[in-house]
Amino acid sequence: MVQKFPKDFIWGTATASYQIEGAVDKDGRGESIWDRFSRTPGKVVNGDTGDEACDHYHRYEEDVQIMKDMGIDSYRFSIAWPRVFPTGKGKPNPKGLDFYQRLLDELEENGISPSVTLYHWDLPQVLQDDGGWVNRDTAYYFRDYAYYIFSKLGDRVQFWITHNEPWCAAYLGYGNGEHAPGLKNFKDSLLAAHHILYSHGLAVQSFRDEGLEGQIGITLNLTPQYPVSDKPEDIEAAKRVDGFNNRWYLDPVLRGEYPHDMVEAFTAQGVMPKLLGGDLETISVPIDFLGINFYSRGIVGYGDNELGVKHYPPENPVTHMGWEVYPQALYDLLVRLVQDYGEIPLYITENGAAYPDKLVNGEVHDKERISYIEQHMKVCADAIAAGVPLKGYYLWSLLDNFEWAFGYDRRFGIVYVDFKTQKRYLKDSAKWYGQFIAKQR
């Protein structure tokens, strides 16, 4: 049994626009890089696309009701940039914004506070045609888009996340090509990462300039790396992967510098992005909280890939993603963040697990998911007891949805979605989460 959490701890669920909304051609929405990518043969399992997804665009009232019934405090969702600016810039599309106004109305009526992510990977395709995040201009268009959203919704939303997981957007999108836009150039991916971070800083600055109330931060996917042995070369290898996945984002945002060891390595390889004066000052403008997406850890040793490392297989049971269940890494991460970066308020903005759920007579007995969640909540409680300023937990995900390159083949929801009928079924984990929250009151 998990300990009691502070009374004001926030319990939430999370989703993202492209993964659930569907309605990709509705009300003037423009094309996103995920529309283009998912329609490209061979990119997504079974050729799945987000064309319909969970049809949340039309079913948001039902989905909000489900959260209300579970007693959820806060709902983290993202805004689809191409709904609001179909070509990424220029004239906004009022019908696109209307959808989010309707969603906010519904949340407000049901006493659920919104937590809004501005960028969860659905870049307008028109901007990609000009280079996407490799082009510095995209950072300025992002600032304009963010500014517009703040001016329209700033009085209704108290919790803002600029970007979701810049490492994934940059590296999976532009480095190894597993995600949209599917490009494979390591050097470009580092430049893309820099521009994403820069756009984060620009957006925070414009939020402050607007004098808005509420909090703004960024969400990073942080994956602690453990050396496979205590040999110095394995310890060094783990440090490099940590540098690439974690510190490359934490350090500029929270310290105003890229990690020196990685700068040295990337400079030697000729892939270090050229920074302009003032970039790091912008990237490190103070934020109000750090969002953490945590799923698993890595085990690494010395090897001969581009980072000089080799990845080792998990030592514990894995989820349907093949990700090792290792909650201790979340505890270690939370404690380390405070040690290395100081007392910034932290939120788990995603944590959860995919399992091959079976719907039988309207029920899904997802014991493993409940166990995963419970174990991770336990270490959150331990971390709070150890003095970590952890303020909330958002479960990924409310609904089974379009899991990027895995399409509908991986189910992360606590609510089961039958994609043929769009009918929703509460899994045991949803019922469990609702009861858990009730006990915390």
Across the strands, what pairs with 178? none
Element (H, E) at 163: strand 159-164
Least separation in angstroms between residue 302's CB and ligand FCB is: 27
Crossing angle, helix 186-209 and helix 248-255, to 10 degrees? 30
Nearer to ligand FCB, 78 or 125 (CB): 78
Q: Note if 178 is an active site residue.
A: no
Residue 165 designated active-site: yes
Cβ at position 405, least distance to ligand FCB in Å: 10
- Of the two residues 252 and 291, which places its CB atom closer to ligand FCB in the complex? 291
Cα of 200 vs its chain's centroid, Å:
14
Distance in Å, CB of 120 to ligand FCB, minimum: 6
Contact between 356 and 426 under an 8 Å Cβ cutoff? The reply is no
Nearer to ligand FCB, 19 or 282 (CB): 19
Nearer to ligand FCB, 17 or 282 (CB): 17
Name the β-bridge partners of 396: 14
Chain mean position to CA 186? 21
We find the least distance from the C-beta atom of residue 88 to ligand FCB, in angstroms, to be: 21
Task: Choose the catalytic residue: 21, 31, 324, 350.
Answer: 350
Least separation, in Å, of the C-beta of 293 and ligand FCB?
6
Distances (CA, A) of 298 to 76, 319, 321, 432: 27, 14, 14, 29
d(CA 64, CA 72): 9
The C-alpha atoms of residue 21 and residue 17 are separated, in whole angstroms, by 5
What is the rounded (10 degree) CA torsion for 340, 342, 347, 349? -40
Catalytic residue among 21, 31, 106, 165: 165
> Could you give phi then psi for residue 14, rounded to 5 degrees?
-130, 150
Q: Under the rule (CB under 6 A), what is the footprint of ligand FCB?
A: 16, 19, 164-165, 168, 221, 293, 350, 396, 403-404, 412
For tokens 């490492």, name the residue.
167
Which residue number, 77 or 226, has a Cβ lying nearer to ligand FCB?
A: 77
List the catalytic residues.
Answer: 165, 350
